[in-house]
Amino acid sequence: MKWLKTVSDFIPIPGYTVIILCFFFPFFLVKCGDTTLMSIKGTDLITGVSRQTMNERMKEHVKKSSPFAAAFGNDIDRLYSDTDNNRSPLSDSRDKKDNENIPPNPPVIVAFLAAIAGIIISLIKSIKKKHTYQVLCSLVGFVSLLVFYLIFQNKMEGFGDNKMGLGLGGGVSITYGFGTAFYLCGGLFLIIMICSLVFPYFLRMRLALRS
């Protein structure tokens, strides 16, 4: 039982630390085949990000990684045109002006705050029943990311692949998807929650057998 308690006490601190660090890496990716055109970090979803910033990042990614960088030119801006069909799936509004920006995302903000709360609880030794609080923090974080994922997938049903011409007689398929950091955050929240549940369960089982 001691090793189980040690593991359940140890995992939250590095787990929540990695989760917080993941927010500084891409949560959301826009790709053209295997080439990443643009990435949106978890911190961008917390603070919000402007259309200008998104376009600048896209151009920078294309210049660095695409063999057709010169062919793209100003056509990159078409991905975020003011038409309803090309609005960002991360935008919550149908208003053309509002769709130029990605606003702060409440579920992602809640997940980030849950990670901060979890690590604070882990560091304060005077708090009793830490495992209960860890279960709550990890559950809130996991559910928040799941809500964000489901909302995004629901919006994506009406988008399909965007296409923009490159002046080469055809179009290139633009796809949206989640980054590794996003899935890592969700997985760590789940691991912390399971570990925080396992120790109290076995402790109750042991006390029941003794009685």
One pLDDT digit (tens) per residue for the chain, 211 residues: 565 566 666 788 899 999 999 999 999 887 777 777 788 899 999 999 887 887 777 777 666 665 555 555 555 455 444 434 445 566 655 554 444 578 899 999 999 999 999 999 988 888 887 888 899 999 999 999 999 999 888 877 655 444 444 444 455 567 788 999 999 999 999 999 988 887 665 655 655 556 5
Q: Are 123 and 12 in contact (CB under 8 A)?
A: no
Residue ranges covered by each domain of the chain: 2-203
DSSP 64-126: HH-TTHHHHGGGGGGGG-SSGGGS-TT-----TTGGGSB---HHHHHHHHHHHHHHHHHH-TT
Which letter does DSSP use for residue 178 in this model?
A: E
